[in-house]
Amino acid sequence: MAQSRPVAPELAAIKVHGMTRESFLLRSTLAGAAAYGTLSATGLITKALAASAGGDVDILNYALTLEYLETEFYVQAAKQVKGLSGYERRLTRELRDNEAEHVDALVATIKQLGGKPVAQPMFDFGGAFGNRTTYLKTANTLEDTGVSAYNGAAPMIASAEVLGAAGAIVQVEARHAAMIRLVRNRPPAPSAFDKASEMDAVLAAVKPFIAA
Amino acid sequence: MTDSALRELADDPSSRKRFFKMLGGAGAVSAFSLALAACGDDDKPAATPAAAAASDTAKSNASDLEILNYALTLEYLEAEFYDGVIASGLVKDPKVVSIAKKFGASEQEHVDALTATIKKLGGKPVAKPRTNFGPTLDKGLKAVLEAAADVENLGAAAYLGQAGRIKNKEVLAAALAIHSVEARHAAALNILVGRGFGSGNGGLKGALPDGAFGKPMDMKSVLAAVQPFLA
């Protein structure tokens, strides 16, 4: 398993252990440049990455970081946010419990693949729990971001089984996003096609919540 | 609804552009053409490693095309259903009307995108299936919205069931972009019909019908489930 090291100063503050950013970026490039059939064909490097459980572990650890974040967010929200309706409190607990199950599943999967799960980072959600409005707005952003993160990373997963696990999780993140949006009286599915984000963009979006 | 919400509700052309970007440029089509040219007769052993690789590629392509056409059938069904719901005049609540219109428009975008993708890959898109929503519409508003909620849950399960089988990574990216939208639709409609979370109860009911993890359904099961809606 490759060790992680900061490759750009702005990422140094993000303590995400066990993830090789280079391998992730290389695979992004390969996926982006793939003409039909490239991933099954010639390049030795391509095949090595595709076959490497290490690559899938990297992606799962990236997902795990996000799931740790969402779980902690809802754990704290359930305790701190005032002014929620009965339904909204039930929804908060349901989301919290779902995210906690995602954490457990990802940790177990990473271990099954012989990898080391990243440690849970320290989070700081600032004033997000100050009132119902900021809580729901932040929840909306986190869920939408989660969907785009999984959609961006999933095509690079080598194992069909790991892909199935990621798909099972992203489906629920998307459901969460719609449910929070409905509570905010926003369109639950504003686009016909959901976004797929690069790791850089996602980590930049969540960086404010990761305590130094 | 506020202005900004209405704007969000309106067509989002950038998401369509995003979808097609995922499918790459001419590269995908030309690779397939090469594969076809090199392939020759599938039954004969490949004459060269290049021909063998091309034959594998053609088989992968055929498999992906089958999946895309299956998805297209489901999207046609969904688009037709929403059209029928709006046309029936059964829905009075303006919030629900706008959701049905938005979801229907998205399903139509899915139809258009899948059709274009299939053609791009050198395949033949399936014809629009003949549908039979009459009996459902006859049962009234509640039954109609519940059917919509069920069909969206089915759609999400269908895409999840195929994700691991798609060979072309660009096609996979495109399928995932649709899958999560079907999941959004499913959750929203199930909440709107008053089913709540439904977690872990299984079946197609509830905003979170299978709890924390979506459950895949295979092609045979999905097609059997939609059979009542096909004429």
Q: Which single residue is written with the structure tokens 């996602």?
A: A202
Dihedral over Cα of B26, B28, B29, B35: its sign: positive
The whole-number average pLDDT for the span A17-44 is 37
Q: Which residues of B touch A92 (CB under 8 A)?
A: none
pTM, entire model:
0.82
3-class secondary structure per residue, B190-227? HHHCCCCCCCCCCCCCCCCCCCCCCCCCCHHHHHHHHH
The whole-number average pLDDT for the span B78-86 is 96
Per DSSP, A4 falls in state P
The whole-number average pLDDT for the span A80-99 is 98
* Phi and psi torsions of A5, nearest 5°: -150, 150
Asked whether the beta carbons of residue A39 and residue B165 sit closer than 8 angstroms, the reply is no
Task: Tell me the two tokens of residue B125.
Answer: 């898109």
The more confident residue out of A49 and A212 is A212
The pLDDT of residue B40 is above 80: no
Asked whether the beta carbons of residue A189 and residue B156 sit closer than 8 angstroms, the reply is no
The more confident residue out of B40 and A87 is A87
The more confident residue out of A128 and A53 is A128
Question: Dihedral (C-alpha) A33, A35, A38, A44: value to the nearest 10 degrees?
Answer: -40
Provide the percentage of residues in chain B whose pLDDT is more than 70.
83
Task: Tell me the two tokens of residue B36.
Answer: 């076809």
Half-sphere exposure of residue B7: CA atoms within 13 angstroms, side-chain side: 3
Q: Which residues of A touch B12 (CB under 8 A)?
A: 190-192
Task: Tell me the two tokens of residue B67.
Answer: 């999946």
Average pLDDT, chain A: 82
Q: Which residues of B touch A163 (CB under 8 A)?
A: 163-164
Question: How many Cβ atoms sit within 10 Å of the Cβ of residue A96?
Answer: 20
| A:B CB pairs within 8 Å | 210
Considering only CA atoms, give the Rg of chain B. Answer: 19
Asked whether the beta carbons of residue B208 and residue A167 sit closer than 8 angstroms, the reply is no
pLDDT at residue A54, rounded to an integer: 75
Asked whether the beta carbons of residue B106 and residue A161 sit closer than 8 angstroms, the reply is no
Per DSSP, A189 falls in state -
Q: Which residues of B touch A96 (CB under 8 A)?
A: none
Task: Tell me the two tokens of residue B147.
Answer: 């059917």
Mutate to test the interface with A, among B12, B184, B218 (most CBs of A within 10 A): B184
Cβ-contact B188, A182 below 8 angstroms = yes
pLDDT band at A6 (very low <50, low <70, confident <90, very high): very low
Cβ-contact A148, A195 below 8 angstroms = yes
**Diameter over CA atoms, chain A:** 59
The whole-number average pLDDT for the span A18-42 is 38
pLDDT at residue A53, rounded to an integer: 66
- What is the C-alpha separation between A41 and A21, in angstroms, rounded? 24
Considering only CA atoms, give the Rg of chain A. Answer: 18
pLDDT band at B18 (very low <50, low <70, confident <90, very high): confident
Per-residue pLDDT tens digits for B117-156: 999 999 999 999 999 999 999 999 999 999 999 999 999 9
The pLDDT of residue B93 is above 60: yes
- What is the C-alpha separation between B140 and B148, in angstroms, rounded? 12
Scanning every residue of chain B, which has its alpha carbon at the shortest distance from the alpha carbon of A162?
B164
Mutate to test the interface with A, among B171, B180, B213 (most CBs of A within 10 A): B180
